[in-house]
Amino acid sequence: MRGRGIQLLSQVLLQCYSLLQEKEVMHLVLFYESRLQDHHLVIPSVLQGLRALSMCEVLSPGLAVSVLKAIFQEVHVQSLMQLDRHTVYSIITNFMNTREEELKGLGANFTFGFIQVMDGEKDPRNLLVAFQIVRDLIAKDYALGPFVEELFEVTSCYFPVDFTPPPNDPHGIQREDLILSLRAVLASTPQFAEFLLPLLIEKLDSELQSAKLDSLQTLTACCAIYGQKELQEFLPSLWSSLRREVFQTASEKIEIECLAALHALSACLSRSVLSSDSEDLLDSFLSSILQDCRHHLCEPDMKLVWPSAKLLQAAAGASLRTYHCITRSVLPLLLEQYTKHTQSSQRRTILEMLLGFLELQQKWGYVEEDESTLLSLQAPVCSVMFSALLDPSVQLQLVGIKALTVLGSLQGFLSSSDLELVVDHLIRLALHEEDSQSR
C-alpha cells in the first residue's frame, strides 16, 4: 500500500513539478530521501519522484548534493532494473546541467559516487547516458582527484565495443553509436593516456579486425589533445605496431587507419615542438621511421616498397617540419635510384613514389628557399622528369606528366627554360605519340 501511494505521488510530481514552491520542494526532497531506506520494491517509485524534483527550478541550494549523497549511500544501482538505473543517470544529468557549482563542491567524492553507480552497467541505452556524464565530468572540469584510473577502468572495460543490436530493436541503438560515444570519453583527456595507450597497443595485436580499427581510430582521436609528455614512453611500441600492421596487413581499411594514426602522431609531436622546451621527440621518432623504411625504397620490385613509401609520406604530410625532415633523406635517394634502375617498370614505381612527395610539397603551397630540399634538387628533379617523357613506356610518361604538373604549380620552381622544354615535350607527345593515353 505504501508503495502504491509513493508511486501515485511520483506520477503527479512528474506532471506538475514546475508548479511547486521552494518550501514544498524541500519537504518533498526530505521525504523522498528518507524513503530510499525503504523496501527495495518501493525504490523505483522513489527514484521517479526524485527525478521530478531534480527538474525543479526552485530547488534550494544544497538539496541537489543531499539527494545525490543519499542515492550514492543508500541505493545499490546495479541491482535495479534498466529503467530504474536510467532514472538515476537522469537525476545526475539534471543536477549537472543546473547545479554544477554545488556538485563541484563535493570534490572528487562526486566522481567516486558516479563510478560506483556506473560500475557494471551493461545496457546500451544506459551506457550512452553514462558515457555522456563522463564526458561532462571531464569537459566541465569536475574534480577527479585520486580516481582518474578508476574512472578510466569503469569506461574502458567496454573497449573495444562488442555489441550487436537485436533484430527489430525499437531503440535504434547501433554499435557505431556506442563506439563513437566511448571513443569521445577515452580521447577526452590526457589524464587517461598512461592507461589508454598500453590498452590500444595491446588491442592492435588482436586478431579481430574491428578491434584493430577501433584502436587505430581512437589513437588518432587522442593525438588531437596529447603532447610529448603523454606519448614519450609509448612511441617505440606505437611505431612498431603501426609498422607491423602496414607491412603485414591484407586489409586496406587497416592500412588507411594506420597511416592516419601515424600522420596524427607526427602532427602531435610537431605541435609539441612549437610549444615545449622539453626534449624534441619528433626528430628521434622520424629517425626511427626513416631507419625502418628508407632502405625498402631501393627495392622497387619488392613487396615492402609501397608500404614503406606510404608510411614515410604519412609522416611527411603531418607538418612542414616533418616534410623537410623526411624529404631531406628520401628525395636524393629516389633520384639516385631512378638513375640506378633502368627498367621502365622500376622507374615508374620510383617516380610514382617521388610524385607522392611532390604532392605533399604542393599541399604547403610554396617553396621555402632556406629549407626546401626540393629547391636544392631542382636540376636533378627536372632531369628525371624529362627523362620520363622520353621513355618509350607510356605509363612512365604519364607519371612524368603528372609530376611536371605538380612542379608547375609550385611558384618559382620551374625556370622559363624548363617551362619551354616542358611545352616542347608535351607538344611532341600530343602530335606524334600513337598511344592516346599520353595525349
Per-domain residue ranges of the chain: 190-226+235-266
Structure confidence at residue 274 (pLDDT): 64
pLDDT of 105 > 90? The answer is: yes
State the Cα angle at 337 between 263 and 330, rounded to 5°.
Answer: 25
Question: Can you give the pLDDT at residue 237?
Answer: 97
Q: Is a pLDDT exceeding 70 seen at residue 276?
A: no
Measured distance CA(62)–CA(437) in Å, rounded: 77
Question: Could you give the CA distance from residue 34 to residue 266 in angstroms, rounded to a whole number?
Answer: 56
Residues 407-430: pLDDT tens digits?
Answer: 888 877 777 777 777 677 777 777
List the single range of 103-107, 147-151, 162-166, 415-419 with lowest mean pLDDT: 415-419
Question: What number is the average pLDDT over the span 130-154?
Answer: 98
Alpha carbons 154 and 316: distance in angstroms, whole number: 37
pLDDT at 414: 76
- For residue 68, pLDDT over 70 is answered with yes
* Cα 373 from Cα 313, distance rounded (Å): 15
pLDDT of residue 164: 84
Judged against a pLDDT cut of 80, whether residue 361 lies above it is answered with yes
Q: Is the dihedral of CA 401, 406, 409, 413 positive or negative?
A: negative
How does 197-226 read in b/e, with b if 16+ C-beta sit within 10 Å? bebbbebbeeeeeebbbbbbbbbbbbbeeb
Q: How far is CA 211 from the centre of its chain?
A: 14
Cell reading at 404: 611536371
Distance CA 331, CA 357 (A): 8
In the structure grid, which three cell numbers stand for residue 387, read together?
627523362
Mean pLDDT throughout 209-234? 96
Residues above pLDDT 70, as percent of the chain:
94
Mean pLDDT of 249-263: 95
Contact between residue 110 and residue 146 where contact means Cβ atoms under 8 Å apart = no
Question: Per the structure block, which three cell numbers stand in for 34?
Answer: 528518507
Predicted structure pTM score = 0.91
User: How do residues 300-320 score in pLDDT, each as one tens digit?
Assistant: 889 999 999 999 999 999 998
Asked if pLDDT for residue 371 goes beyond 70, the answer is no
Cβ–Cβ under 8 Å, residues 56 and 20: yes
Residue 439 in this model has a pLDDT that exceeds 70? no
* pLDDT tens digits for range 74-92: 999 999 999 999 999 999 9
CA dist., res. 302 & res. 306, Å (int): 9
CATH architecture of 190-226+235-266: Alpha Horseshoe (1.25)
pLDDT number for residue 366: 57
Q: Taking 70 as the threshold, does the pLDDT of residue 211 lie above it? A: yes
Q: Is the pLDDT of residue 435 over 70?
A: no
pLDDT: which is higher, 271 or 257: 257
- Assess contact for 7 and 45: CB atoms under 8 A: yes
Write down the mean pLDDT value for the chain. Answer: 91
